[in-house]
Structure 1
Amino acid sequence: MIRYYENLYLTDSTEKNLTRIKRRLRLGAGMTSLFVITLSDNPGDMFNIIHASMFKIRRIRHADHLVIGLAESRRKAYDIITGIVTGHYARTGGYDGIRDYFLEGKD
């Protein structure tokens, strides 16, 4: 099941096409230039960057994912993650709790 973080991190391009992107991810339609940023399943990692073509695989599409961002390139996905991590560090003075921050749905 694909769940979306309330305040999704988006690039300009993904923001314009958000409804279409969500529908295509849900249906497993291919999108060659989209990267999905999710919380990592591994507690030792913070995030996963998954190419949208992976969501064509039913097992992956129906697994539990909390999507926190969408980007049209891997570089822009890294930029979004860098912004998230540096922003969290500026607010809290540390890197601990980033995962909990998203799971609790804070702004």
Structure 2
Amino acid sequence: MASIESKDIHKIIVACDAGMGSSVMLAGQLRKALKGQDIEVTHIPVNAIPADADVVLCHAGLAARARASAPDTVLIPFQIFIGDPAVTGLISTIKNGGTIHG
């Protein structure tokens, strides 16, 4: 399992699959929540996660594919696109400092 200190996070990827717009919405929410943190947040297809991603967020149903695409990157799977504890926990740890595991 990979880990990263919150101060070392500069790029968060929201990995998507179906193109329904949910990942775009979540990426926008993250950008707003992390405003002023100097962290790039973008949405990208799960099979095209870039090597410079520090943290990858994806729906739990895509976790195996995301792990295969970015095996050494912190992966945070979530169940729901709005208000998921995994996402709110990530935001809190980034803002307050700490280590993120995934």
TM over 0.5: no
TM-score (norm 2): 0.32
Higher alpha-carbon Rg: 1
TM-score (norm 1): 0.31
Larger helix proportion of the pair: 1
